[in-house]
Amino acid sequence: MAYASFKPISLPPSTNTFNPIPRSQTLLRCCNHTKTLKITSEPKPVFDSLRTFAPATVANLGPGFDFLGCAVDGIGDYVTLSIDSNVQPGEIQISSINGCSKLSKNPLWNCAGIAAISVMKMLGIKSVGLSLSLEKGLPLGSGLGSSAASAAAAAVAVNEIFGGKLDFSDLVLAGLDSEAKISGYHADNIAPAIMGGFVLVQNYNPLNVVKLPFPSDKDLFFVLVNPEFEAPTKKMRAVLPAHITLEDHTWNSSQAGALVAGILQGDLEMLGLALSSDKIVEPNRAPLIPGMVAVKKAAIEAGAFGCTISGAGPTAVAITDNAESGVEIGVKMVEAFMKQGNLKASAVVSSLDRVGARVVSSIAR
């Protein structure tokens, strides 16, 4: 059978007791108030060690290009962070990276390291050294926010080990420091990786990211189909048009509005129609991913509400309202990648991650 999963991860329950981050379903807005952030004295560590998880994220979502993303449950990256007396106070070392041989262990060149350092600076950590271990659950360059997941897990880990003084917006800014160096100054992966659910980036200056609560009584499943194919973000950005017609702009804007309405109302039909409707980005990127056009068609024919490219690709994302349909849709999409694109692909069916980056275990001091 063509259907296979990435790396199935047995996740801890989302409602663990360690995470002080609010999980309200009401509207949540983060503004950039780090300028007024007053950490009057260096916080003391609350834990000797802790382990965090941050989920994969789907950015763009068709007409939500560069400003909308969401977190998906069950796949993501882990960070284990420890107070380490062998590390120079105020510094951090990356002790190990599992699941990926390509990443640098120099914290200045590692997405988890950069985010961790930013949070340490925000907190003013000078007296304690940290040791970080990264477990990659997400493939690099897949369009699933791999770098953002590492950065989110690291940012939350550092914040929580010192008692959780910072809020979402600070952590998103720390994550943005990392994203800017690794994959571009975009918050549509890092914000949902940290905050969970759907997040709309309304502004960068000042940062204004808004969580869009998907109704808690409705189900939403993502079929994520990842072909064995490299689609470097730079190459996928290079094919975007510099200018677009007012007509296409108006169309895509209306679909962006419908996308947000579909999310907030839990209306998968509207959400799916909007997701599939992008006339600006997807039509330019899809031809660079062999089989993508056929994969989208196969997803819709198999009953998906909508389908598009996840992030900058090559992963294709389709949505549905139950896990069984998701598996069937995934099989058809994997088949289409093979038949029309001559690409092997693997699929996972994930529900919406409503929580975001979180502590999954800890050892108190």
The full 3-state SS of 176-235, as one line of letters, equals HHHHHHHCCCCCCCHHHHHHCCEEEEEEECCEEEEEECCCCCCCCEEEEEEECCCCCHHH
**The only residue of 37, 87, 261, 293 in contact with a copy of itself, by rule CB under 8 A:** 261
Coil, helix or strand at residue 54: strand
183 binds a copy of itself (CB under 8 A): no
Give the relative orientation of helices 111-123 and 146-161 as an angle to the nearest 10 degrees.
30
**The only residue of 190, 256, 298, 312 in contact with a copy of itself, by rule CB under 8 A:** 256
Give the relative orientation of helices 146-161 and 168-182 as an angle to the nearest 10 degrees.
140
106 binds a copy of itself (CB under 8 A): no
Which residue type, as a one-letter code, is found at position 243?
H
User: Would you say 21 or 212 has its CB closer to a copy of itself?
Assistant: 212
Phi, psi (5° rounding) for residue 256? Answer: -60, -40
252 binds a copy of itself (CB under 8 A): yes
Query: How many Cα atoms are found within 13 Å in the side-chain-facing hemisphere of 92?
Result: 29
8 Å CB contact between 343 and 70: no
The single residue of 34, 91, 233, 328 carrying the catalytic annotation is 233
User: Whole-number minimum distance, CB 19 to a copy of itself, in Å?
Assistant: 24
**The only residue of 39, 180, 240, 288 in contact with a copy of itself, by rule CB under 8 A:** 240
Phi, psi (5° rounding) for residue 309? Answer: -85, 135
258 binds a copy of itself (CB under 8 A): yes
Q: How many CB atoms lie within 10 A of CB 257?
A: 12
The single residue of 179, 282, 308, 335 carrying the catalytic annotation is 179
259 binds a copy of itself (CB under 8 A): yes
Please count the residues of this chain forming the interface with a copy of itself, following the rule CB under 8 A. 41
Peptide bond preceding 206: is omega within 30 degrees of 0, i.e. cis?
A: yes
User: Would you say 1 or 246 has its CB closer to a copy of itself?
Assistant: 246
**The only residue of 280, 336, 352, 357 in contact with a copy of itself, by rule CB under 8 A:** 280
Give the relative orientation of helices 323-341 and 292-301 as an angle to the nearest 10 degrees.
150
91 is catalytic: no
Stretch that binds a copy of itself, among 103-111, 224-232, 255-263, 354-362 (CB under 8 A): 255-263
180 binds a copy of itself (CB under 8 A): no
300 binds a copy of itself (CB under 8 A): no
25 binds a copy of itself (CB under 8 A): no
User: Whole-number minimum distance, CB 139 to a copy of itself, in Å?
Assistant: 27
292 binds a copy of itself (CB under 8 A): no
User: Whole-number minimum distance, CB 130 to a copy of itself, in Å?
Assistant: 35
Query: How many Cα atoms are found within 13 Å in the side-chain-facing hemisphere of 118?
Result: 27
User: Whole-number minimum distance, CB 254 to a copy of itself, in Å?
Assistant: 4
260 binds a copy of itself (CB under 8 A): yes
233 is catalytic: yes
Coil, helix or strand at residue 57: strand
User: Whole-number minimum distance, CB 248 to a copy of itself, in Å?
Assistant: 8
Cα(23)–Cα(194) distance, integer angstroms: 12
User: Whole-number minimum distance, CB 222 to a copy of itself, in Å?
Assistant: 19
Cα(57)–Cα(193) distance, integer angstroms: 6
Q: Which residues bind a copy of itself (CB under 8 A)?
A: 27, 29, 63-68, 200-203, 208, 210, 212, 240-246, 249-250, 252-261, 264-265, 267, 270, 273-274, 280
Active-site residues, by number, are 179, 233
